[in-house]
Amino acid sequence: MATKSIRQIADELGVSKTAVRKQIANLGLQSSLRKNGNQFAVDEEQEAKIIRAFCGKSQTENGNQFANQTETSSRTENHEVSDLVSVLQTTVTVLQEQLQVKDQQIAQQAQTIDRLSHALTAAQQTAAAAQALHAGTIQHQLSEDAGQDTTEAEPVQPRSWWSRFFK
């Protein structure tokens, strides 16, 4: 069975001798260690327990560190999401206000179009009446001109003063 010193185990694990001694004390292995000169000899079974203790501690620390990083990351993401939601809510509010303004503008334009449509209808009726009146005037003038043409066809003879008595 190969034995190692506390220093060798500490070097392999990348920790101090003091950390290894504390772990030995925590595990209750002090009484089972053998002394080899001025060093303690750690057998393979004890070494495995010490290594497991450090690995478990390191995994727990890594797990806590990961949990802290995850929590910090979650807080940051939550804050970013909260900011994004706030920006989106503000954008929605602004767009709703703009939509209300546009609805009012459309309503005003619809009223203007309605008034213009009535004015156009009235103007068309007036134009039709004026055309009819003009056509009637032209027809009347043509009929008068036709009547004058027939009278002009008859020669006008000068009348004398006595022709009034002998009709």
Residue 108: its pLDDT value, please? 92
Give the best-scoring range by mean pLDDT among 29-38, 83-92, 94-103. 94-103
Domains and CATH numbers, the chain: 4-62 (1.10.1660)
Task: Read off the pLDDT of each residue in 72-78 and give the average, rounded to a whole number.
Answer: 71
Tens of pLDDT, residue by residue over 110-126, are: 999 989 888 989 989 89
Percent of the chain residues topping a pLDDT of 70 = 77
The pTM (predicted TM-score) of the whole model is 0.36
Residue 154: its pLDDT value, please? 57
Q: Give alpha helix (H) positions in the chain.
A: 6-13, 17-27, 44-153
Residue 60: its pLDDT value, please? 53
Q: How confident is the model at residue 103 (pLDDT cuts 50, 70, 90)?
A: very high
Residue 25 is encoded by which pair of tokens?
């004390």
Q: What are phi and psi of 5, to 5 degrees?
A: -90, 165
Residue 163: its pLDDT value, please? 67
Residue 105: its pLDDT value, please? 92
Query: Taking Cα atoms as reference points, which of 44, 40, 46 lies closest to residue 17?
Result: 40
- Pick 155 or 135 by higher pLDDT: 135
Measured between alpha carbons, how far is 88 from 80 in angstroms, rounded to an integer? Answer: 12
Residue 99 is encoded by which pair of tokens?
């939509």
